[in-house]
Structure 1
């Protein structure tokens, strides 16, 4: 392990070399507003006339598919909800009906409008019905083989000129498009769950996506009331790439000496609605566990890997749905602290790495988390995954709970002295075996 860093571990009594104090809120909010506007605009070379969309087919009636369906229904469009399993289709249809009944009961929606929205829903199990749709959105299980099989069916039944979209959050869009005879019509529309509430929509063109198809994706975001961010086709796109770097650094801090509740509390105090370990328990640890195992063969040998989450999952601690993850959930309530099992797993991980556990201050926890995001952001800009550094701030605020009053990780990074920021990123990368981004890329 590298020697303790004076940048990462500045004592609380000293003025930190890298600041984490709150920026002028007005400046941060102004940055976020201008960044949101810019993110919705295509470069002149990419601009085209969107294809008209009146009917949207959604494949998959699970939580994501029904959330997308509600968003489309609320935008006054027809929805064809397709499922292969009649029971799953019935559950999805009931979930949508229940959503509107609850909205009416709560006084948040007039009964007449709720009825009109629900009436535009057409549930079905017949693939041939896809011929009605101007836009088809796949929202099935995040596994390449499953999505490829679905897109073979979409290609066989969707009408010529229909836009074919995948809701994938990690997978290679070009591989998905290659399952069709019309890759120019394929793009990614990455919604965030619950899709009828979360505002962020990552719009992802593939190598062959036609300009008017990309323009249609941006136009749909506007019609759905979403905040779009255009991302190039790359594993995890923008948001998940940044969040994974943040989450990994938080896991490193567990091995170094922190407990989950310390990390969560420090980042909540900074402004996040929830800390990373509470979020992981809420979403389900098995999701990340499955993704880790799928990517294990591609993980660089020198990259630091923390197996704490793996060991939790092996013990059936999959998060809130299992009653235990990083925390216990007795009677649906989160315990205030990690329990003896979790602490033992963390201590064993530290021992296996040969790390002498030490106290981490809130300042260090926040500083390392922010540096991790800034470092990954610089790499995304250099790779062209994000065409603007400010798009990263939009994605993190609208999709991942980064506090809006802090502007975003790029806004934070721009407030640091460039040389100091670069040194901090280098030290962070050296401790993780990862790459170092060029801090100057964030000052576009």
Structure 2
């Protein structure tokens, strides 16, 4: 009932565009299902790709089920207000004073709830490295909200402390922490307010450091509270000042960029300023679509990788088997030589004993004894020593040339075959089904 009421309210706010709202919610549900099922294909404890990849010495990480948007800006720049506008609920505090002194994660949940730092790290294990930064965990929190507005089901916002210059101190190394979070995020929204702090040096320095570490396309600039910047002339001056400041940093001006003028439409003053806040929502939508495509493409790549490594391991094991056969043959050959030479010498020496026991000499004795008698008696010790040395040498060669490589057991070879069949059969079929469901949102059925 609550969802129906929310949909009806959304339809009423849109001026009768209820079908668009329903389509948006349906698309969000489809995309959410695709990301969750892709995550399950990796994280399944029995036959997940992350576990199967370990059998072939490949490390895979499950894809995230949501995109992450990091919000950066000076204090009172409108970061918290933007989150409240997007989720259509008053979750974050807003004000001219510094309201956010820690890091707050805003994500969708079953009901309204607040989580502390340790609970946040348990909910988001990918953020565990934040614990290495002193003071972060105690200033980290999560706000869960049951909003179904826009694409909130597929987005996680990270609200950061307001940045100021001067002697303002933070409970943790804000520069390093924001840089680390930016590398993990899918988008970085930079907010500049038009009232005095738009060119905060700390903000620009952090953004420049971020620009050196991530693709410039992931950073989006906004002039927030544009309705409070005076008339159009004043707004243009502020935009020019921000543009000039951004252009001073090589890592931020490698390509052309836009600075969108935004303000909260719910509390806007009468103004002729164009509100481009919907561009922020469109940017998030585009990031979601690109994440979906990247996840599905990565799933295909990983399936092929695991299957190829399985076949390579099976082929390498077969090659080791052939090499082991050759090693065993060499071992038998040199071992036989190491045994035959002393035996032949013993036969030569034992001729008198054989004649005494048998009454006659064997053909082998008749062949070897003349060869043995060619050696002078005074060199017989050298002969014995030489035969012993050659026999020992052959024995050493047998050990060296007869080494065999460890092979897979029959069960392990069968398991690799099953893994290859699983990823190329079941998982690949699931991927094609998910890709089809994704494309059907925008492609006509007749085009398939």
**Which range, TM-score by smaller chain?**
under 0.3
Length-normalised TM-score, structure 2: 0.22
- Structure with the larger helix share: 2
Q: Which protein has the larger Cα radius of gyration, Structure 1 or Structure 2?
A: 2
